[in-house]
Amino acid sequence: MNLTDDLLGEMWYWVAWAAWLPLFARSVWLAPWRRLRDSEQSNLWLGMIVLLVFVWSMKAGVNPGLSLHLLGANVFTLAFGPHLAFVGLSLVTLGVTLNGADGILAYAMNALLLAGLATALSQCLFRIVSGILPRHFFIYIFVNAFIAGGVVVLGVGLASTVLLGVAGAYAWEFLFSEHFPYYLLLAFAEAWLSGMVITLFVVYRPQWVESFDDSRYLSDK
């Protein structure tokens, strides 16, 4: 899941930088920074960044670029919205990179996959579910938090697997027989973690979750 500097050709990394920079600048511009003026909210945002740096550093894998770790992107996006989540997860990626886990040249590609694609998938799933299913507390927990958490990991895993295959870093047969199936196990763990954390948040600290509104999910239920 975390790419290294020598895994893909340089062209891939420079294209990633060209794509990530405007996306990051857009999120910095559109992010609701006023929310972080509240010390509780800013402490939560910064705390999630620090926690995820440690979580991403605890990864399993043997070959370069094939390491697996929990993501936490769905929780971050549900709690803070896509723009603050993208900025926050990009900082998490930077922390892991500076910690020596990945190379600086591959930073933008890792940020696009682990921050950009992950938050986009999470936000897209949230909007789809909100549009086609009833706005009910248990639907929010089991679909937006639990199921979406697993789907986000599968989506990021599939994208990174296809990228490695297209770039010729590994053989397609190896990637889909020896690597991608492990994302199914990781997705279940991510779904469980995402559902548990969001449930605790909305029960005890609903003000921490930007996407949760008592009037939408609890009133007249």
Q: What is the pLDDT of residues 31-78, one digit of tens each?
A: 999 999 999 999 999 999 999 999 998 877 667 778 888 999 999 999
Q: Which residue has the higher pLDDT, 218 or 43?
A: 43
Residue 217 above 90 pLDDT?
A: no
Segment 160-187 mean pLDDT: 91
Domains of the chain: 10-217 (1.10.1760.20)
Question: What's the chain look like in SS3?
Answer: CCCCCCCCCHHHHHHHHHHHHHHHHHHHHHCCHHHHHCHHHHHHHHHHHHHHHHHHHCCECCCCCCCECCCCHHHHHHHHHHHHHHHHHHHHHHHHHHCCCCCCCCHHHHHHHHHHHHHHHHHHHHHHHHHHCCCCHHHHHHHHHHHHHHHHHHHHHHHHHHHHHHCCCCCHHHHHHHHCHHHHHHHHHHHHHHHHHHHHHHHHCHHHCCCCCHHHHCCCC
> How far is residue 217's CA from residue 102's CA, in Å, rounded to a whole number?
41
In this predicted structure, what is the pLDDT of residue 194? Answer: 96
Q: Which residue has the higher pLDDT, 3 or 217?
A: 3
In this predicted structure, what is the pLDDT of residue 220? Answer: 56
In this predicted structure, what is the pLDDT of residue 62? Answer: 61
Q: Which of 20, 29, 22, 70 is nearest to 48 (CA)?
A: 70
Question: For 2-6, 117-121, 194-198, which range has the lowest pLDDT when averaged over its residues?
Answer: 2-6
Spatial neighbors of 72 by CB under 8 A, at least 6 apart, are 48, 51, 52, 55, 190, 193, 194
Spatial neighbors of 204 by CB under 8 A, at least 6 apart, are none
CB 153 within 8 A of CB 71: yes
The pTM is what?
A: 0.93
Q: Which residue has the higher pLDDT, 218 or 174?
A: 174
> How far is residue 143's CA from residue 187's CA, in Å, rounded to a whole number?
14
> How far is residue 84's CA from residue 45's CA, in Å, rounded to a whole number?
8
